[in-house]
């Protein structure tokens, strides 16, 4: 996935600059949602989507409850989250 490491900073893996597009459909801006990654064009954070899925909501239920979110947006949030948790090791070997 391109665009997750910042070309302006030397501290990877992820940092957020105003209006930074982090991945397909995922953006971050300190002026919106306190800079948390969110679905482009909405105030829905990636963490909201993950929480809904973790609580047992289906993609169909999410798009029905929040019609401004598409199944592609949900997929983009999952793909971004997968890359984000894999970007930095949690424990050394």
pLDDT at 11 over 80: no
The answer for residues whose C-beta is within 8 angstroms of residue 49's C-beta and 6 or more apart is 39, 62, 69, 73, 74, 77, 78
- List of domains in the chain: 20-85 (1.10.10.10)
* Per-residue model confidence (pLDDT) at position 48: 96
Written as six digits, the tokens of 92 are: 């050394």
pTM higher than 0.85, yes or no? no
Average pLDDT, the chain: 80
- Give the integer Cα–Cα distance in Å for 23 and 14: 11
CA distances from 14 to 2, 45, 65, 68, 84 (A): 12, 16, 30, 27, 8
- Encode pLDDT of 26-65 as tens digits: 888 888 788 889 999 999 999 999 999 999 999 999 999 9
Q: What is the pLDDT of residue 4?
A: 47
């Amino acid at each position: 996935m391109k665009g997750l490491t910042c070309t302006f900073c030397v501290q990877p893996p992820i940092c957020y600059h105003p209006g930074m597009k982090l991945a397909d459909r995922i953006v971050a801006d300190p002026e919106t949602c306190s800079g948390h990654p969110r679905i482009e064009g909405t105030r829905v954070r990636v963490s909201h989507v993950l929480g809904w899925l973790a609580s047992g909501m289906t993609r169909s239920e999410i798009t029905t409850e929040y019609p401004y979110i598409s199944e592609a947006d949900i997929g983009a949030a999952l793909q971004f989250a997968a890359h984000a948790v894999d970007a930095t090791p949690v424990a050394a070997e």
